Amino acid sequence: MIPMELLTMGGGALMGGVFKFIDQAQKAKAENNKMMMEMMKAKTEEKNADYARATASADAAAARVGNDPFAKMTRRIFVLSMVALGAWAMMGGLTGLDIVVPVEVSTGFNLFGLIDTSGTTTEFVRLENAIVAFEWLKISILAAGSFYLGKS
């Protein structure tokens, strides 16, 4: 039979080891919380710095625009040139002029990679009295409108 002193000594050592592991887990959890708080503080400071930079940039842009007649005239010339370019591109078909568009055409054939006579050639297709709407045109008109109305 194991003496009672030996059991109490072993139980005390065992409980000391358990409490030591619990203490280490609590220290690790506290360190983790500390690092999370520092990370959240750093993110908050970064957002505040971004906000300050954006505010400074907006204030500088507002001060730069001002009532300078040269800047207003430059914006007007830019917008009017974009509108004229758009009108020219869209109304060009109504003038009776033909539009010639390059198109790549594949010719020949490819037989399982053994016989390959394929190639591409560029043919020019004539569109008579066509109204053409370009993708860049829509983007340019929207940009010009926001540029003029936004006074940037």
pLDDT tens per residue, range 10-55:
888 899 899 999 999 999 999 999 999 999 999 999 999 888 888 8
Give the span between the Cα atoms of 99 and 25, in whole angstroms.
Answer: 77
pLDDT tens per residue, range 80-114:
887 787 777 777 667 777 778 889 998 888 888 78
Nearest to 85 by CA among 23, 147, 39, 136: 136
**3-class SS shares of the chain: helix, strand, coil, % to 5:** 70, 15, 15
